[in-house]
Amino acid sequence: MQEALLEVKNLVTSFRTADGTLQAVKDVSFEVKKGETLCIVGESGCGKSITSLSVIGLLPQNGSIESGEVLLEGKPIQDLSHEEMRRLRGNRISMIFQEPMTALNPVLTIGYQLREPLLLHRNVSKKEATVKAIELLKQVGIPYPEKRLKQYPHELSGGMRQRVMIAIALACHPGLLIADEPTTALDVTIQAQILDLINDLKEELGMGVLMITHDMGVVAEVADRVMVMYAGKKVEEGTVEEVFGNPKHPYTKGLLNSVPNIDDPEFELEAIPGSMPGLNEEISGCRFHPRCQFAMDKCKVLDPPEFIDRNGHTAKCWLHEDEEVKADESNGTVTATV
């Protein structure tokens, strides 16, 4: 079995606020293998982006990893110093941010921002960095790269700015690429091009990709595996075929039923009732039960364990209680044997 490139174990991320300490990510575990794409999906506010920022060490000043481990190639990185993380970011692990116009520095040229990670991490001359920057722009499909190096972010279109962000992220050939909603601000045509580009570069460079999105269409196109989050917790994880073909958690079913299906003339959209609970909202039992049409009395009292079938498809839902199961007390999961 291929070793994990990234391992996140029992991650708890919290924020200090005027109302006290609030947990945004609650005991989340997952892994990303080399050459695969894991998509984290869920509504806005479910903890997707905070999970990715926890991994790369870019939490706001009032945020911190309360407990858990983040391992890159088997080595813990959650407790590294600011300087050690700075050497890691952009080198072994890179990130494409949601909005390139705010992620790119508006007063620095594209060339300056492309050369920066090369000069910092690769110990090359400015001339060598410029040559590499031109190659990177060609690699991500930007025409007239020599001209683009002298331009500023506002002189480029949204799609080209996103391509520049990808070029910067890939400058040092990272092992892990994190993409946080990389196509949100783009039109459908450019979105497809960006997703194809990320997938092609993943295969060419052998990277692991952790993609954050709320768009199930994007998930279907690029994911190898899918992790569904709700209110800071992981509620389901499996291959894209398992999750789309046999969703086990009512929340996952709700997400899929809220995506239009133009191939089925009788398909009707089904909205998930209610809204995501706030971080300071106390809910006993399963946090999804106030919105779940299948909620039982037990759901309102006890938080369900993680059920795992023989294929590794997991779901935290009491609807699987009636299956023949085998409890694994060592990690708090329950393994289905049916």
- How would you label 130-143 residue by residue, b for 16+ Cβ within 10 Å and e otherwise? bebbbebbebbbbe
- How many CB atoms within 10 Å of residue 327? 10
- How much is the CA Rg of the chain, to the nearest whole Å? 21
What pLDDT, on the 0 to 100 scale, is given for residue 1?
Answer: 53
β-partners of residue 11 are 28
Q: Which domains does the chain have, with CATH numbers?
A: 4-230 (3.40.50.300), 233-274+285-336 (no CATH)
Q: Is 313 helix (H, G, I), strand (E, B) or coil?
A: coil
pLDDT confidence of residue 270: 82
> CA-to-CA distance for 44 and 28, rounded, in angstroms?
17
Q: Which of 78, 307, 31, 29 is nearest to 176 (CA)?
A: 31
Phi-psi group of 274: left, alpha or beta (phi > 0 → left; psi -120 to 50 → alpha; rest → beta): left
Tell me which residue of 270, 272, 269 sits closest to 290, measured CA to CA. 272
Per-residue DSSP letter, 174: -
Angle at which helices 158-170 and 126-139 cross, to 10°: 130
φ, ψ (nearest 5 deg) of residue 32:
-125, 125
Task: Work out whether the CA dihedral 143, 145, 146, 149 comes out positive or negative.
Answer: positive
Q: Using one digit for the tens of pLDDT, what is the confidence trace for 273-321?
A: 999 998 889 899 999 999 999 999 999 999 999 999 888 899 999 998 7
Integer Cα distance of 109 and 145 in angstroms = 13
> What residues in the chain have per-residue pLDDT under 50?
324-331, 335-338
Whole-model pTM: value is 0.90
219: alpha, beta or left? (left if phi > 0; alpha if psi -120 to 50): alpha
Tokens of 123: 């110990």
What pLDDT score does 249 carry?
A: 96
Residue 333 has a pLDDT of 52
Is 312 within 8 Å of 238 (Cβ atoms)?
yes
